Amino acid sequence: MARLQITGDIALDEHELSEHFILNSGPGGQNVNKVSSAVQLRFDAKNSPSLTEGLRARLIALAGKRATKEGVVIIVARRHRTQERNRADARLRLIDLIRRAAEPKKPRLATKPGAAAKERRLQAKGARAKIKLGRAKPKED
């Protein structure tokens, strides 16, 4: 059984991927109407035994519109004229997507505004207050 190596500790079995060949609207000359050279690669991320629970959630979130409600990631490759190149392109794009999902998010460090930023904020508030004071009705004596 062939395995698709993603990172050092993540690998997918070939049977987890399903490929459907569809007509390509892109380059291909006269063949474009006869040969199904575009590839629709499907990967069921939600039910994949190769992924951890956290990686699954990050992958589906990162895939965005390319993921279905059932957790299947769909990648359509139609950049090239041949099935083989489109197939390789779809697999590379899936590998890249999984690698990006596997990278741990950098934690955000809470910071405080500096003294100059505080001063600018107070200056802006004062300027705005003066503008609003100018709009007020004049006081009667």
The CATH number of the domain holding residue 36 is 3.30.160.20
| Burial classification of residue 135, based on how many CB atoms lie within 10 Å of its CB (0-12 exposed, 13-18 middle, 19 or more buried) | exposed
Q: Which residues in 74-96 are b (16+ Cβ under 10 Å) and which e?
A: bbbbbebbebeebbebbbebbbe
Q: Does residue 24 belong to any structural domain of this protein?
A: yes
Q: Which residues in 11-44 are b (16+ Cβ under 10 Å) and which e?
A: ebeeebbeeeeeebeeebeeeeeeeebbbbbbbe
Most confident of 4-13, 25-34, 121-130: 121-130
Higher local confidence (pLDDT), 10 or 41 = 41
CA distance 60 to 63: 5
Tell me which residue range forms the domain holding 16.
Answer: 3-102
pTM, full prediction: 0.69
Total structural domains within the chain = 1
Q: Does residue 14 belong to any structural domain of this protein?
A: yes
pLDDT for position 9 = 82
Mean pLDDT, rounded, for 95-100: 90
Mean pLDDT, rounded, for 105-131: 94
